[in-house]
Amino acid sequence: MYPIPHRSKTQRHLLAVGLLMILILCISSFAQASDPLPSWNNGLVKTKIIQFVCDVTNTNSENYVAPKERVAVFDNDGTLWVEQPISTQTVFTYDQIKKLAPQHPEWKTIQPFKAVLEGNMSAVSSFGTKGFIKMIVTTHSGMTATEFTNEVNEWISKAKHPRFKCLYTNLVYQPQLELLTFLRANGFKTYIISGSSMAFMRPWTEKAYGIPPEQVVGSSVVTEFRIVDNKPVIIRLPKNNFTDNRAGKPIGIYQHIGRRPIFAFGNADADMQMIQYTKAGKGKRLGLFIHHTDAKREYAYDRKSNIGRLDKVLDMASSNDWIIVDMKKDWGQIFPTPK
C-alpha cells in the first residue's frame, strides 16, 4: 500500500474530462457501429439507458460495477408483454375453470366460479382481488408440478389474444427484447419479478425472453413433496404461499436473488417498491416505468386503470429520478416483426 497522492485542481479537471471522453466514445461506439436498441427512438430515455450501461461496465469509471453485481429486474405484465384488456394469467385462469368444470360440479354454485361459467364478467369483477386469488389458487393446484407445467404449455401454445388475434407470446415488446439482449451482452443477469404465478411463467419465459426459469420470481401456492405410487412428486396445494407484488417484490428479490438490483423496469404503481429498493442501493442505479400512451399500436392507460394502474408513480417520478418511458414517443416498434 502507498498513499494516494493529492491531485491538483488541473489534474482533477483533466481526469474528469478524460472520463467524460471515454463515456462519450463508449456511447457513440454503441450508437454508430450497430445500434443495440434499434426499436428505441433516439432521445433522452434511450441515451440514459445506453449511458448507464456504458458507465457501470467501464472499469475506468467511478460507477463501475463488477459483473456479478449487475442484476437487472423486470416486471412482466405490461413491462415485457401486453396486459390489456385483462392479464394473460387471468385469461388462462378463466379457460382453466371452463376446462376443469366437468370435474368440479360444485363450481356451478360457488362464486366467482359460477359467474365465470355463466360468462357474467361484471359479476366476476365484483369479487375483487380476493375472488381473483381464490380462482388462481384453485385452478393452479390439485395436481403435480409437472402436470401443471403441461397445462400451461398446452394453453400458451394455442390461446390467442382477443384484439391482436395471435399467440400471447407474440405480444412481447420488441424494444424490451433488445434491451434484455443488450444488458446480457454487457454482463447483466436478467430476472423477472412479477405478481403473476412463477409456475405460470417459467414454462415459456426462456423461449420468449431468454430468461431461464431460475431467474423468474413470482407469486406461488404452497407445494408439498410426497411419494405417490413409489414416485416422488411435488403436489400443488390450494393455498396461497407468497404474493410477489407491491411490497412483496423487494421481498421476492431478497429471498430469491439475495443481491440488490442496479437496474429495475416496471410499468405500474405495483412496481414502485421494487424500483425504490433498487434505487436505494449505493452507486449508480436506473429505475424505469413504461407509460402506456399508445392506444393505436397497443393500449393507453394510467391513473384510472384497474390493470397496471400508473398514478402515484407519475406524481413521484421526477423527484425520485425515475425514468418514465413514453411508449408512443420512445418506442419505434412495439411487437416483433412476424416471421
CA 127/CA 134 separation, integer angstroms: 10
**Cα→Cα distances 157→77, 124, 154, 166, 234, Å:** 18, 26, 6, 10, 24
Q: Which x/- pattern over 285-304 shows residues binding a copy of itself (rule: CB under 8 A)?
A: --------------------
CB 191 to a copy of itself: min, Å: 9
CA 249/CA 246 separation, integer angstroms: 6
240 sits near a copy of itself (criterion: CB under 8 A): no
Q: Which of residues 161-180 bind a copy of itself (CB under 8 A)?
A: none
CB 207 to a copy of itself: min, Å: 12
| Among candidate residues 133, 171, 148, the one with its CA nearest the CA of residue 96 | 148
243 sits near a copy of itself (criterion: CB under 8 A): no
Q: Which residues contact 200 (CB under 8 A, 6 or more apart)?
A: 89, 92, 140, 152, 218
20 sits near a copy of itself (criterion: CB under 8 A): no
Are 79 and 290 spatial neighbours (Cβ–Cβ below 8 Å)?
yes
190 sits near a copy of itself (criterion: CB under 8 A): no
Taking residue 149's Cβ as centre, other Cβ atoms within 10 Å add up to 17
φ and ψ at 3, to 5 degrees?
Answer: -65, 140
Q: Which member of 104, 161, 184, 259 binds a copy of itself (CB under 8 A)?
A: 259
216 sits near a copy of itself (criterion: CB under 8 A): yes
For a copy of itself, the closer CB: 202 or 292: 202
CB 292 to a copy of itself: min, Å: 25
Q: Which member of 31, 86, 101, 257 binds a copy of itself (CB under 8 A)?
A: 257
Q: Which member of 231, 296, 304, 339 binds a copy of itself (CB under 8 A)?
A: 231
CA 38/CA 40 separation, integer angstroms: 5
3 sits near a copy of itself (criterion: CB under 8 A): no
Q: Which member of 206, 294, 302, 326 binds a copy of itself (CB under 8 A)?
A: 206
φ and ψ at 28, to 5 degrees?
Answer: -70, -30
134 sits near a copy of itself (criterion: CB under 8 A): no
For a copy of itself, the closer CB: 57 or 278: 278
- Give strand pairing partners of 288: 265, 323
Are 71 and 274 spatial neighbours (Cβ–Cβ below 8 Å)?
no
Segment lying near a copy of itself (by CB under 8 A), choices 46-54, 167-175, 257-265, 326-334: 257-265
Q: Which member of 232, 304, 337, 338 binds a copy of itself (CB under 8 A)?
A: 232
CB 158 to a copy of itself: min, Å: 23
Question: Which phi-psi region, left, alpha or beta, contains residue 323 (left: φ > 0; alpha: ψ -120 to 50)?
Answer: beta
| DSSP letter, residue 120 | -
For a copy of itself, the closer CB: 223 or 240: 223
CA 125/CA 112 separation, integer angstroms: 9
The sign one gets for the Cα dihedral 210, 52, 282, 245 is negative
CB 28 to a copy of itself: min, Å: 34
Query: CA 122 from chain center: how many Å?
Result: 28
212 sits near a copy of itself (criterion: CB under 8 A): yes
Q: Which of residues 83-112 bind a copy of itself (CB under 8 A)?
A: none
- Return the C-alpha cell found at 225: 413433496
- Return the C-alpha cell found at 195: 405478481
Residue with cell 403441461: 150
CB 313 to a copy of itself: min, Å: 15
Q: Which residues bind a copy of itself (CB under 8 A)?
A: 68, 145, 189, 198, 202, 206, 212-214, 216, 220, 223-227, 231-234, 247-251, 254-259, 273, 276-277, 280
